[in-house]
Chains A and B, each alone.
Chain A
C-alpha cells in the first residue's frame, strides 16, 4: 500500500491502484483516476455507472457483478463496454474509490 497525491489529496492505493479507504474519495479524484486510465472526460453516463458501483458497494459491502451492473445501473452491457473499454466493473470501481470486484461474473 502506498500513499499518493491525487488531485491535491493524499490517498492510499493498493498495488493495482484501487483506493484502500473509500472515505478518502472525492469527485476530483475520480476524474483524475479516469484520465489516468484512458477516459479523458467522465460523462453523465460514466457517472451513472460509477455512482451505482459506489453506492452498491457502500450499501452491501460487495461490488456488483457485470450482470447486475448491466441490469440495474440503467446502462446496458454494450454501452458499459463503450464507456469503459478496459473493463467496466473494474474501472468503475477504481474510479468510484471502492475495492476491485472479486466475483468471476
Chain B
C-alpha cells in the first residue's frame, strides 16, 4: 500500500490556466440536488467566473414560484441517509430531515433556496429553464420566479455554454 501511495503522481506544477466560464445543469428537485449547483454558481461568480444555470426536469422546482420555498431532502432511496428506507418513508420524516439540514446550513451562512436564487442572480449569473421540461409539465414564464432570464432549448444552452466548462448536477 505504501509503495502505491509513493508512486502516486505529484500534483502538476502551478498551472496558470484559469476557468473563465461555467454552465451548470441542475436536474434534481431535492434539497441536496439543488444546493450543489447553486453553491458552485455562487462560488464561480465570487471568483469572477461567468456562470450560466440551466434548470431541467425536477430541477425546475428550484425556480418555480409555488415550489422553490418548499424543497425537501430526499429521505427515501437515498443511501446517504444511512437509514432503512421504511424510516425515511415515515410521515413527516422528510420535513424533519429538511428542517435539520436547513438549520445546519444557516449556521454556516448558506442561505435558503429563495434567497440563494436571488443572490446568484444578483451576482450576475444567468438562470434558464429547460424548454423540453417546461413543455412537458405545461409551464410558462408565469410559473417561474422573476430571476429566470428565459426558457431555452438544449441547443441554445450549448450556445450559451460555449467556451466554458459544463457541470451536470
**Do they bind each other?**
yes
Residues of A within 8 A of B (CB): 65-68, 70, 76-78, 80-81, 85-90, 103-105
Which residues from chain A contact B119 at a C-beta distance below 8 Å? 66-67, 70, 77
Query: Would B109 and A81 count as touching, CB distance under 8 A?
Result: no
Indicate the size class of the contact surface on chain B.
10 to 19
Which residues from chain A contact B108 at a C-beta distance below 8 Å? 103, 105
Which residues from chain B contact A70 at a C-beta distance below 8 Å? 119, 122
Contacts A67-B109, A67-B111, A104-B39; is A81 near B47 (CB within 8 Å)? no
21 residue pairs from A and B, CB less than 8 Å apart? A66-B42, A66-B46, A66-B119, A67-B115, A70-B119, A77-B119, A77-B122, A77-B123, A78-B122, A78-B123, A80-B123, A86-B48, A87-B46, A87-B47, A87-B48, A103-B109, A104-B43, A105-B43, A105-B109, A105-B110, A105-B111
From residue A86, how far is it (CB to closest CB) to chain B in Å?
4
Residues of B within 8 A of A (CB): 39, 42-43, 45-48, 108-111, 115, 119, 122-124
Query: Would A87 and B109 count as touching, CB distance under 8 A?
Result: no
Beyond contacts A67-B119, A81-B45, A81-B124: 8 other A-B pairs, Cβ-Cβ < 8 A, are A67-B109, A67-B115, A77-B122, A81-B123, A87-B47, A87-B48, A103-B108, A105-B39
Closest B residue to A68 by CB, please name it. Answer: B109
Secondary structure at the A interface, as helix, strand, loop or mixed, is: helix
Q: Considering the chains assembled together, what is the distance between the CA atoms of A77 and B147 in angstroms?
A: 14
Which residues from chain B contact A89 at a C-beta distance below 8 Å? 46
Q: Considering the chains assembled together, what is the distance between the CA atoms of A85 and B123 in angstroms?
A: 9
Q: Considering the chains assembled together, what is the distance between the CA atoms of A105 and B108 in angstroms?
A: 9
Q: Considering the chains assembled together, what is the distance between the CA atoms of A89 and B109 in angstroms?
A: 14
Q: Considering the chains assembled together, what is the distance between the CA atoms of A66 and B115 in angstroms?
A: 12
Closest A residue to B39 by CB, please name it. Answer: A104
Closest B residue to A86 by CB, please name it. Answer: B48
Closest A residue to B110 by CB, please name it. Answer: A105
Q: Considering the chains assembled together, what is the distance between the CA atoms of A89 and B44 in angstroms?
A: 12
Query: Would B110 and A66 count as touching, CB distance under 8 A?
Result: no
From residue A36, how far is it (CB to closest CB) to chain B in Å?
15
Give the one of A78, A89, A103, A105 with max B CB within 10 A. Answer: A105
Query: Would B124 and A90 count as touching, CB distance under 8 A?
Result: no
